[in-house]
Amino acid sequence: MKSTGTTATGWRFGQSLPILRLMELLARISTDPEVRFGKPCVRGTRITVGEVLGYLATGKPEAELLVDFPQLTHDDVLACFGFAAERERRLQAIPAA
């Protein structure tokens, strides 16, 4: 990573993913009221976005996640990050009184 805040691939911190790539990743996330109470899941699985992020938040490496859940791929993990980033971006802050 360069000290200018740019990654090796040229992406700058604070910059959104290219929209087509983001849309491609987000297509991997689905919500269905009949599956896991409508929580967002990796398509074709019952694994929620929150479970993937929570697993990684414990400090376990992605490689271990992919071994423990062989139905997931690297792009599924990226889709979970992208989903969470988009949800965070869309949150509206409530100003303090």
Q: pLDDT for 64-85, tens place per residue?
A: 999 999 999 999 999 999 999 9
pLDDT value at residue 58: 97
Q: What is the CATH number of the domain that holds 39?
A: 1.10.10.10
Structurally, how many domains does the chain consist of? 1
pLDDT value at residue 1: 41
Domain that holds residue 79: 19-88
In a domain, 12, yes or no: no
Single pTM value for the model? 0.76
Q: pLDDT for 10-63, tens place per residue?
A: 555 555 667 788 889 999 999 999 999 999 999 999 999 999 999 999 999 999
In a domain, 26, yes or no: yes
Own/partner contacts of 43-47, CB < 8 Å, gap of 24 or more, are 44/71, 45/69, 45/71, 45/72, 47/71, 47/72
In a domain, 95, yes or no: no
In a domain, 67, yes or no: yes
In a domain, 10, yes or no: no
In a domain, 93, yes or no: no
In a domain, 6, yes or no: no
pLDDT of residue 9 exceeding 80, the answer is: no
The pLDDT-based confidence of 8 (bands split at 50, 70, 90) is low
